[in-house]
Amino acid sequence: MFYSFKIKSVYKVLVSLVLVVALTACLFMVTNSTILASGENRKLPVYRVDTGENKVVALSFDAAWGADKTQGIIDILNKYNIKATFFLVGFWVDKYEDEVKKLAENGFDIGNHSHNHLKMSTLQAESIVEEIEYVNKKVENLTGKRPYVFRAPFGDYNNKLIENVSKLNMQAVQWSIDTLDWKGINANEILKRVKSKVSFGDIILFHNNSDHVLDALPKVIEYLIEGGYTFQTVSELVYKNGFTIDVNGVQHKQK
């Protein structure tokens, strides 16, 4: 009787373990199917562009607060004959109209960084359009040219934002290299970050009034030139039609 009871107990334990394993496997499959389905439906901005063998990058500068270093950035870029993209916030444009005109006069690309630098994913569609169109109209009035690329503040986006950017015939972009200049790190640390990450088709993020941007920018440019890189604006770099964006945010030209 004792052995019979023991065998039955072991059997029950084994059956329980099998059921637990089976349920866990089912939950894992359901969870991963949900993640996959979510990923397949998720819309992405452009983080980087597949340029094939073309060794090109784009320098970009977000401008929201302050303009003390803007002329210095212009001078450095002009020295190396490089055109870059400046993503402007609406209240920055309102305050620094002369700087906006100067950027355009020097041939730089002006992108849209929203009117009020809000978390755009929290807004309703109507407010998203208002935020973007305010900057588009203001920049067009000042420069004669409407921005084509849009970068969301804080890198914050969702499908609703991407869809509304597309409806405005614009391309949503992010960045593939954050220099972290906004953290106040020094020029050599910024250069080290770029050196460790740079690849073909990268979009490199600076800020127009960060502490060490004027020290870091020449170092980064010279390193990239020595490495055989050329430069385009973000609007030039991204494909405007006939493209796909993969799950990593890399934009590919359709063949």
How many whole angstroms separate alpha carbon 167 and alpha carbon 161?
Answer: 10
Element (H, E) at 105: helix 97-105
Residue partners of 81: CB distance under 8 A and separation at least 6:
none
Locus of tokens 């004027």: 214
Q: How confident is the model at residue 188 (pLDDT cuts 50, 70, 90)?
A: very high
- Asked whether the predicted pLDDT for residue 12 surpasses 70, the reply is no
Question: Angle at the Cα of 116 (from 146 to 95), degrees rounded to 5?
Answer: 70
Average pLDDT over residues 28-49: 62
Distance CA 192, CA 124 (A): 40
Between CA 44 and CA 242 the distance in angstroms is 16
d(CA 90, CA 138): 8
Q: Are 156 and 121 in contact (CB under 8 A)?
A: yes
184-197 average pLDDT score: 98
Model confidence band, residue 40 (pLDDT cutoffs 50, 70, 90): low
Q: Which residues pair with 203 in a beta bridge?
A: 58
pLDDT digits (tens, 9 = 90+) for 93-125: 999 999 999 999 999 999 999 999 999 999 999
Per the prediction, the chain carries an average pLDDT of 89
Q: What is the DSSP letter of 191?
A: H
pLDDT on residue 255 = 82
The alpha carbon torsion through 110, 112, 113, 119 (nearest 10 deg) reads -170
Beta strands in the chain (DSSP E): 48-49, 56-63, 85-88, 109-112, 149-150, 171-172, 177-178, 203-207, 230-231, 243-245, 250-253
Of 125, 128, 104, residue with least CA distance to 116 = 128
**Residue 21 pLDDT greater than 50, yes or no:** no
pLDDT recorded at residue 218: 98
> What pLDDT does 4 receive?
45
**Is the Cα torsion angle 151, 155, 158, 160 positive or negative in sign?**
negative
Each residue's pLDDT tens digit, 209-254: 999 999 999 999 999 999 999 999 999 999 999 999 999 999 999 9
